[in-house]
Structure 1
C-alpha cells in the first residue's frame, strides 16, 4: 500500500512539474512580441510598425540636429501616416496596383545614383545608419504603391480648362518678380467638418498661439511635426520651393514681396487655419533646353519571357545594325512593344527630363549615332539609338506646360487632402490606447 501511495505521489509530483513547466511555456508563448496598434478596415497597423517609424524619425532628427515634439504628439502623426498607408495599400490591392521586385530594385538603384553611390554602397550606408535594409526596401514599395493610388484616385477629380491656363499665363507675364522663388513652411491647424463656432474659435486660438511661438523664435519644424494636420507634417511642414504663381492665391497675396523669416497667417481655408513661413528666398533664371532625337526598342519581360531572355533578345541587335544585316526601324517594328513600334521606335524630339530616370541617364552617356547596350527601366528592357541633340528656346512651350503644371499641383494638393479625408471618414478605424 505504501509503495502504491509513493508511486501515486511521484506521479502527481511529475504531473505537477510537467503542468507547471507547460504552463510556463504557454505563458511565455502568450507574451506577445507584437500587438495591434490600430484596425483599418480589413487591415491592421502593428505596434512594431509604429515603433520602427518612430525610431527612424528620431534617428534622422538626431542626425540632422533637429529637435522633435513630445513622444505623444509624434506618435499621433506617425499613426496618421500608417493608417493612411494602410488605406492606400488596401485600395491599391483592389485596383490591382503592384510594384515588382525589378521595379523596386530600379527605383532604389536610382535613389543610390542620386546620392552618387552604387546600390551596394547605398545598402551599406543604410545599414550603417541603423536601417534594416529589407524593411527599408519594403517601405519604398509602400510609398510607390501609395503614390500611384493617390495619383489615380485624385487625378480623375481634377479638371483644368484652357481658359484657366490662359489666365495664368497672362498673370505670369504681368508679374515682374517671376524670377523669385520662396522656400515655404506650412502648418495647418485643422477644424472638423461641419465645424461649430466653438470649434472655429478653438482652432483660431491654437493658430494664434502657434504664431506667437514662431514669432518668439520657436523651432518651426518641431511645431509643424507636433501640431500640423497638413500632408507634410512629418517633414516639418516643408512645402519646398515655389514662386508666387505656384502658391494658392490666399498664400501668394500675403507672401509676395516678403522677406526671409516672415510668418503670415492664420489664413482660413476649407480645411483649417494655415500658417506659412518664408524659410528662404532665391532668384530663378530661364535657360535653354536641350532636346534629343532618339529611337528605342522596348521588350517587356513577363512570366513567359524572363529578364535574361529579354536582354539576350536585344543583345545582338546593335551588332546586326552595325554590320548592315538589319535596320533599327525594321527591328523596332518587328520586336518593340508600345506605341512607338509602328514608327520604328522613333521618339521624336523631346526633353530627356521627361523620360524614365534610367532612360534619361542612358541618353546622357551617349554620343550622336551611338547605340546603347540593353538596360532596364521601369517599363522593361531597351536599346537606344541617339540620332541628334539640339538646344532650343522653349520659353513659350515651357510657360504653357508650367502654367498647366502649376494649376494641376495647386488643385492636386487640395483634392488629395480632401480625398484622403473622405477615404478616412468612410473607413472603419479603431486606434488602441498605448500601454502606459
Structure 2
C-alpha cells in the first residue's frame, strides 16, 4: 500500500486533537480532519486529495471563463479521475516504475522554462495560486509514472500490419499527409472570361516578358507588387506553404521539378497566366541518411580480467595492428562482440545515430582507413577502423516509418480509452463520497 502524505500527518493531527480535548468538556464533539472518500484496490483516495484537485479544476475552469457545474457533479467527476489515476499508479508500483529525484527536478525545471520562469519564480507563481512547489512536484511525479505505465501497457496493445501501412501510403489521405510541401509565390497576369485571341496573345507576351526579366535576376516580389493581379500581390505574391498533393495539374509536376529559388514558365489557367516561384521546400520523398562502414574489436572486463588488464590488452592489439597484423584476424581471435567477431569485426554500413555516443564520437573523428586508439564505451574497450562513408537515400523506408507512426498515433487514443475502461472495470472500487 502506498504511503499517503495524509497518513504521515495523521499522528500529528491526533496529538493536537487530544491536547485540545483535554481542555474541553468530556462530551465535546471531535471534528474529523480527513477521511477516506474511495477505496481503490489496495489504496485509498482521501478527502484532502479530492479537495485539492477540486480547487485546481475550479481555478482552471474559472480562468477559461466557463460556468462551473454544480459542486456535487464536479466532485463526482474529479473523484472518478482520481480513481483512474490511482489504479494506474498502483500498476506502476507493481511494475517497478520509479521516478528519480534527478528526473523529477529536470521535469519541473522544463515546465518552468516553458513558462519563461526560473524554478524559484515558478514556485512563487504556484503559491499565488494556492499551491506549493512540493504539491506540484508530487503531481508531476504522478503524471510521469502514469505516462510510463501507458507507454508500456497501451503501446503493446497497438498492432499495425504491413498491409495497413501499404494501404495508407496508397490512399489519398496518405499521399496528402506525407507529400512534399512547397512555399510558393505567384504572379498572375489576368484574362477576363471570354477574352479575344488578341487579348490572350497580349497577356501571353506580358507574361513571357516578366518571365525573361525574372530569368535575368529581377526581384520576384517587386514584380508581383507592381504587375500581378493575384490576391497576394501586395505580399510579394507569397502563397505560403502548399502540399504537393494539394496543387492541381500541371502545377504539381512543374513545382516538383523546381529547385529552390527557380520559377516556372508562364502557365495558362482559367484565370490567366501564372508564374510560380519556389521559395522553399520541406518533407517529401528525398531523405538522405549518412552511413558509415566500420569494424571494431570489443574487449569486456570480467571476473578473470580486470578493467586495467582489459585496457592494456586493447593497447597491445592496437600496437599489433599498427605493426601490420590483420585487423580482421585479430577481431576474429579477440573481439567479444558475437555479432561482428566472426566477420572480422565488421558492422557493415550503419547509421551513426544507432550507436552509443562514445562510439559515434570516436567514429566521426576518425578518417577512412585510420585505426583509432583504444577508447571506452558502456560495453567495454574498443579499437575501430572506418572503412567508408556514404549518403543513402532512405526515402521509402522513411515514408513507411512516417506512415507507421501516424497509424499508431491514430490508434493510440482509441486503445487508451479502451484500456482505461478495462482497468476500471477490473479494479475493486468503493466510493464513500
TM-score, length-normalised on structure 2? 0.46
Larger radius of gyration: 2
